[in-house]
Structure 1
Amino acid sequence: MKTRVNRNMIDGKPAVHPLLSQEYLNRLNNVLEIAQNIPVSRERATWISNNIPVPNNEEIDVMRYRSLLLLFRDLFLQGWELTINNGVTSIQHPVTPENIETKQWYRRALLHERNKQLESESLNKFITKMEKERKYKGKTVSIKNIISPVEELLGLIQERGANAVQPYLQIIQSSLDRDEKTGLRLLDIWRYFRLTWTLPHKPTPGRNMFILVRDLAQEHHPVIGIAALGSSIVQITCRDNEIGWTTEGLRERVDTMNENEARITINSLTQSIIDSISEIEYRDLLHENIDLLNVKKYMQLLDGFLEREKSPSPSPPRVTSNADATIWRDVCFSPFYRKKRAKTLLKLFKAQVFFNNLNIDEPLAALQQLLMTSSGRSVISTALQSNKREKIGANMMDIIVCGAVPPYNFLLGGKLTSLLMMSPQILRAYEEKYKRQVSVIASAMKGEPVVKQSHLVFLGTTSLYETGSSQYNRLHIPVSALGENTPFCKIGFESLGVTKGFGTVYISDETVNAFSELTTKVYGRRIVNNTFGEGTSPRMRLIRAGLDVLGLPSDHLLNHNFKRIVYGIKLAGNAYEYLRGEEDTPSYYLNQTDPLHMTEKICTFWRERWLSMRIQNPNIIEQIREFDIEKFLLGRESAREQ
């Protein structure tokens, strides 16, 4: 009996069927067959690299072939495995060798892409500029001056004990801000130290804040640690469950709700729908004022409009938050946003019909009934997502960078930097920076400038490794230790769950650029423009689009299998209620009236809790003594890489 070969799977893994002409498919198979017999993954990647053709944006097959080889090179460098069976290729996730810890294996994979970044000409010029000595205020200075000299730090420890380190926050307000001690741009200082880390640095769109932690105890105020806040990742299931932005999260809450809590929940869901409708320009679509008690006719009008507008929407207009107020109406009436408004309104009206028919006399039963049916869950999801869209871009941020700079890493400067993310000084700086900033998407949907409240109530982050982070695990501040008289006992990092293991960090910028050129060639336009309004995670969407164009299993290849722990910090006792729209004003754990004083209290807590014990350890003192600034400098590392 003839055995049938399943061309879609090999040993339970998705097979790879690239969309190539037969000529280039033969070329690819020849290269991969040789690569399969090369036992060392790095040597396998080198073989692939030597066969990558020069860019050719005229021949679509050359572009596809080149993109495939670039991708295979990246995967092999990260330890992915290649299998060819009956002429069909499959790629398997990296398998950690038995003699190497998963953390070490993943670190090595990340380090390769980071080292590739350091090879670029622009970064080499930047590093040279930062390390070059120059005159400033009559003194010879460079980036070395703000790396703590070992002997000076040890001398201060011997003389002052835990008071040897006097931390303070320096929040970078502008790209033009300069360091008073060296004249270097503060953002360049931040960037230099970020480049010393294992994880390659990728700029993130949206809101951001860059932060230095400095040491007042020394002449040049050396950098203890660096941090950055960025716009929150939109979709993290375990975090959204915890906050209550998912039907699953709501179902768990309903099990313990009383009637009053259920009524508050229904009111917030209903109000979220009403508020979302009110924030969308509709008169060009419906030509009349909306009556929320009779919305079925509006659904018919929008259905008709969308039926006539079946062609793919063009890219959204390019517009920034500082655009002139008169621009927003033109943006709102553009084909992209007209269609986006119609789709959003139709979904909101469908939800409104359900809420209009709810029996609010028995709110708990009404909620339970909605959760029992798929249509009810869909309506709840629409309301929850409406609320989430309103809050996630303004009232929460992610800690995207947080850690210590040597030699302060030996003194747990990373924990200090993490603790300082809770300081009211950060919250006040965030509010001051964004309290007047116009929201691009909200303004484009309404046709006029929209400014959202910037009360920061929640911070999220993830560990670098699946084993968690010693910097975040169980890191809390007892509120009483800061002299606060509140009913809340502690503020800090809580583990919320794990990520699903999807990401793009192991795919190189060169490959991403090739995908961008390929998809532009195939579709006749750029399908991902990094423009506000077209969606989240532009890098992820671009890579997924490139994989789809190549005929590759995108879900399989984007799932790198390295899960991370998700952490969250509630900065207010009612943070989740505020984010769900159930309460209007945050009840912050820490006193907001004197941010600098609260920062000092956090630093004092760190000195007493960790630093005082750390400096009593002879092994730690010896590690500090062995720290060599010259070996730490990036210029030396770049020279070694070359």
Structure 2
Amino acid sequence: MERKRLGPHGWTSVFSLMRDGKELAAAIRANQADSLVPNAIDPYLQVIEDSNERCQFTGLRLMDVWRYFRYNWAMPYNSVPGRSMLALVRDAVAPNHPIIGIAALGSAIVQLSQRDKWIGWTSANFVSSTQDKPTIALARWVPRQLETLTQSIYKADLIKAGHVTYRELSRPTEDSISRLLAEAKIAWELHRRFPHRSKHKPRSYDDRHWKREALTHLFRAKRCETLAQLLQVRRTLNELNYEPKVDSLQALLAHAGGKKVLEALVRASKAEHIGIDMLDITICGAVPPYNPLLAGKLTALLLCSPEIVQAYARRYKDAPSIIASSMAGRTVHRPPRLVLLGTTSLYGERLNQYHRVQIPRGVAGAKETIRYAYLGESVGYGSSHLCAETVRELELLLAQSSRGRRVNSIFGEGVSPRLRKIRDGLDFLGFPSDRVLNHGNPRLIYGVPLALNFRGVLVGLEKNPRYILPQRGSREVSRAIARYWGSRWLSPRVERRPELLDIVAVNDIRLPYQHSARVDLPGLEEDALPLFA
């Protein structure tokens, strides 16, 4: 990356994508406060939509450019299973359009109680809101959701084996539910003993593959469990002669098993939407020399742009939903409708780059204010303080133990496989896993609604998002967001603290490259003692 190579416009390297600090500081000083954007800095968003996509100025792969600048972060980068998207924020005013900031979006964390409560995904919250306001929309949602979920499960093998009958699908009995749960227990045990990871690696994404996937021990267990839960819901509705009316919904809430019905349906609805209609911001920040100028906030603001929504839709419009397809035994396409972003701060300090970040109503055509809403603190629990070698040794220990490895990192096996592996290994060694995994570094949790009806979409009450920002003319919307950042954050920052421009000016792209964006590789001292003698 740092070696010069012949690009489309001459000799270039990754240093060609770093802006000279002296030139940037001079450009800011030479322009009026209200014209810094776009005269001194002209930001735009570039989503990396193809792993082989190259920079038009340097010829470098954009993926490699993103990875290079990612090495400036304090935390090591771990890939997240599921969906992902990378983006660069670039500066059109300077030669080669240098990098202002980088960002990454990935599949959302499944278990996050503060966020789930805010959305309405927790059982208690959903039941409480339904009791407070039982609407006709909710009354109709109950049977519709049940029917949709039931139809999404492959059942032919279960019927053939006698675990359930066609009649019991509409008129379930306690015995049919017990048979399914018993079969689920057997299938789980077989999966733990014979995980067969190779069977879960797709050779093709056609219906034959998804049928084979549905018949594996893992998804047979999941299908039996899920179908048993849904049949219990149907059994309760049958007892009440439920109809899609408010009176029936109120009767359901008054029934002894009514709350469990709603809990099961909202849990299934969360599972259906969390991997499709929301993403987490996993990386977001500025690259020197822009970081003293609050370009991290610029990057955070641009992630709300319709360019992100549309790039996500293009990337995944034809992608099969892996777990849904494996449960259905056929290809299932769920339209990607990005309505919510979530993220956590790197540290537990309230004054971070997400603090007070918002796009006010009217700016860039926003119908309402888009803000990074503070939702609470995480409990400071996880595995970020444990190195990869420790995890590998624990995995090896579990594989060689008589109990076997219960977590095999197969997609669909369960949430947080890394964390569960570590916990299993620590428990096997007799270590107090709760204490070891409590790193004591709580993080602040934020939610960023992109649609007015994001809750309705994520619960399954509504299909079509009503986006806050206009979806037409997305590039112009991004430019308007950048201009707002210039007037709200950049200009006041420079006026209030002019000495920051001296810090910016230190970054020199001339040899020997005294630039803070350059990755500082750790050296190995010859006289260093070995860690283990």
CA distance in 2, matches of 1:330, 1:606: 51
Q: Secondary structure at the match of 1:618?
A: coil
Going from structure 1 to structure 2, the CA distance change for 1:334 and 1:343 (only over 3 Å counts) comes to same
Q: How does 1:26-41 map to 2 (within 5 A)?
A: none
Whether 2:25 is the aligned partner of 1:174: answer no
1:396–1:458 CA contact under 8 A, matched in 2:
yes
Q: Which residue of 2 aligns with 1:284?
A: 157
Instruction: Give 1:193 deviation, angstroms.
Output: 1.1
> Which one of the candidate residues 304, 325, 339 is aligned to 1:422?
304
**For the Cα contact (< 8 Å) 1:351–1:382, is it kept in 2?**
yes
- Inter-partner Cα distance in structure 2 for 1:504 and 1:520: 20
Q: Which residue of 2 aligns with 1:630?
A: 514
1:7 corresponding residue in structure 2: none
Other-structure match for 1:369: 254
User: Residue in 2 aligned with 1:302?
Assistant: 180
**1:131 alignment partner, SS class:** coil
CA deviation vs aligned residue, 1:191-220 (integer Å, no higher than 9, x gap): 111111111111111100000000000011
Q: In terms of mean alpha carbon deviation, does 227-236 or 441-450 score higher?
A: 441-450
Identity of matched residues, %: 37
Map of 2:447 onto structure 1: 568
Find the aligned partners of 2:521 and 2:17 in 1 and give their Cα distance: 19
Q: 2:27 aligns with which of 153, 156, 179?
A: 156
- 1:619 corresponds in structure 2 to 499
Give the alignment partner of residue 457 of structure 2, picking from 564, 567, 578. 578
1:189 equivalent in structure 2: 65
Instruction: Give me the whole-angstrom Cα distance separating, in 2, the residues matched to 1:204 and 1:231.
Output: 7
Amino acid at match of 1:134: R
Q: Does 1:550 align with 2:421?
A: no
Residues 411 and 614 in structure 1, CA contact (< 8 A), matched pair in contact too? yes
Counterpart for residue 233 of structure 1: 109
Query: Which ranges in structure 2 are unaligned for 5 or more consecutive residues?
Result: 527-533
1:55-101 CA distance string (max 9 Å, x none): xxxxxxxxxxxxxxxxxxxxxxxxxxxxxxxxxxxxxxxxxxxxxxx
Note the C-alpha offset of 1:290.
5.5
C-alpha change, 1:170 and 1:306, in structure 2 (3 Å) is closer
1:443 corresponds to: 325
1:566-603 CA distances to partner (integer Å, 9 max, x unpaired)?
A: 10011100000111111121111111122111111111
Q: Indicate how the Cα distance of structure 1 residues 538 and 482 shifts in structure 2: closer, same or farther if over 3 A, else same.
A: same
Count of aligned pairs: 504
Q: Which one of the candidate residues 308, 328, 337 is aligned to 2:210?
A: 328
Shift in alpha-carbon separation, 1:356–1:620, aligned structure 2, 3 A: farther
Alignment partner of 2:233: what SS?
Answer: helix
Shift of 1:274: 2.0
Q: Which amino acid aligns with 1:607?
A: G
Aligned match of 2:16 in 145, 151, 154? 145
Q: Which letter does structure 2 place at the counterpart of 1:159? A: A
**Closer, same or farther: CA 469–290 of 1 in aligned 2, 3 Å:** farther
Kindly provide the amino acid, as one letter, of the partner of residue 334 in structure 1: T
Provide the rounded CA distance (Å) in 2 between the counterparts of 1:627 and 1:290.
73
Q: Which moved more, 1:191-200 or 1:617-626?
A: 617-626
Shift of 1:271: 2.6
Q: Distance in 2 between matches of 1:420 and 1:223?
A: 14
C-alpha distance in structure 2 between counterparts of 1:394 and 1:274, whole Å: 20
After TM superposition, the score normalised by the length of structure 1 is 0.74
Contact 1:395 1:457 in 2 (8 A): yes
Structure 1 gaps, min length 5: 1-129
Question: Contact 1:269–1:383 (CA<8 Å) still a contact in 2?
Answer: yes
Equivalent of residue 340 in structure 1, options 197, 222, 232: 222
Alpha-carbon separation, structure 1, partners of 2:439 and 2:468 = 38
Code of the residue aligned with 2:117 in structure 1: it is N
Task: Give yes or no for contact 1:165–1:215 (8 Å, CA) kept in 2.
Answer: yes
Matched, 1:404 2:286: yes
Question: Could you say what the CA RMSD is over the residues aligned between the two structures, in angstroms?
Answer: 2.4
CA contact (8 A) 2:312 2:336 kept: yes
Q: Which moved more, 1:411-420 or 1:621-630?
A: 621-630
Change (3 A) 1:378 1:548: farther
In 1, Cα distance between equivalents of 2:188 and 2:70: 46
Report SS of the residue matched to 1:444: helix
Q: 1:199 and 2:81 equivalent? A: no
Question: Which amino acid is the alignment partner of residue 309 of structure 2?
Answer: L
**Against the structure 1 CA distance between its residues 576 and 308, is the aligned structure 2 distance closer, same or farther, given a 3 Å change threshold?**
closer
Deviations 1:244-267 (A, max 9, x none): 11122224424642x42xx43343
Quick one: which of 336, 340, 349 aligns to 1:454? 336
TM-superposition CA deviations, 1:552-576 (whole Å, max 9, x none): 2222221222211110011100000
Q: Is the 8 A contact 2:20 2:505 kept in 1?
A: no
Task: Give runs of aligned pairs for residues 262-281 of structure 1, distance below 5 A.
Answer: 263-281=136-154
Contact 2:213 2:219 (C-alpha < 8 Å) held by counterparts: yes
Alpha-carbon distance, 1:506 to partner: 0.4
* Aligned AA (1:299): I
> Match for 1:222: what amino acid?
P
Give the residue type in structure 2 aligned to 1:626.
V
1:5 corresponds in structure 2 to none
The alpha-carbon distance between structure 1 residues 640 and 212, as it changes in their structure 2 partners (threshold 3 A), is: farther
Structure 2 counterpart of 1:483, one-letter code: G
DSSP 3-state at the match of 2:235: helix
Query: Matched residues in 2 for 1:137 and 1:339: separation?
Result: 55
Q: CA deviation at 1:474?
A: 2.1
Q: For the Cα contact (< 8 Å) 2:104–2:282, is it kept in 1? A: yes
TM-score by length of 2: 0.88
What is residue 512 of structure 1 aligned with on the other side?
A: 391
For 2:69, what is the secondary structure of its paired residue?
helix
Shift of 1:156: 2.0
* Matched residue, 1:380: 262
Structure 1 pair 307–142 and aligned structure 2 pair: CA distance change class (3 A): closer
Shift of 1:445: 1.0
Residue 502 (structure 1) aligned to one of 353, 369, 381:
381
- Quick check: 1:132 aligned with 2:3? yes
Deviation at 1:293, TM superposition (A): 4.1
Query: Is residue 507–residue 514 contact of structure 2 (8 Å, CA) maintained in 1?
Result: no
SS of corresponding position for 1:460 = strand
Q: What is the DSSP-based 3-state SS (H/G/I as helix, E as strand, rest coil) of the residue aligned with 2:334? A: coil
Corresponding residue SS for 2:44 = strand
Q: Structure 1 residues 352, 198: closer, same or farther in 2, change over 3 A?
A: same
Which residue number corresponds to residue 239 of structure 2? Answer: 357
CA distance in 2, matches of 1:393, 1:306: 24
Separation in structure 1 between the aligned mates of residue 428 and residue 184 of structure 2, nearest angstrom: 27
Within 5 Å, which residues of 2 pair with 1:465-504?
465-484=347-366, 486=367, 488=368, 490-504=369-383
CA distance in 2, matches of 1:471, 1:592: 26
Q: Give the alignment of 1:69-80 within 5 angstroms.
A: none
Question: Could you give the per-residue CA deviations for residues 45-64 of structure 1, whole angstroms, max 9, x where no partner exists?
Answer: xxxxxxxxxxxxxxxxxxxx
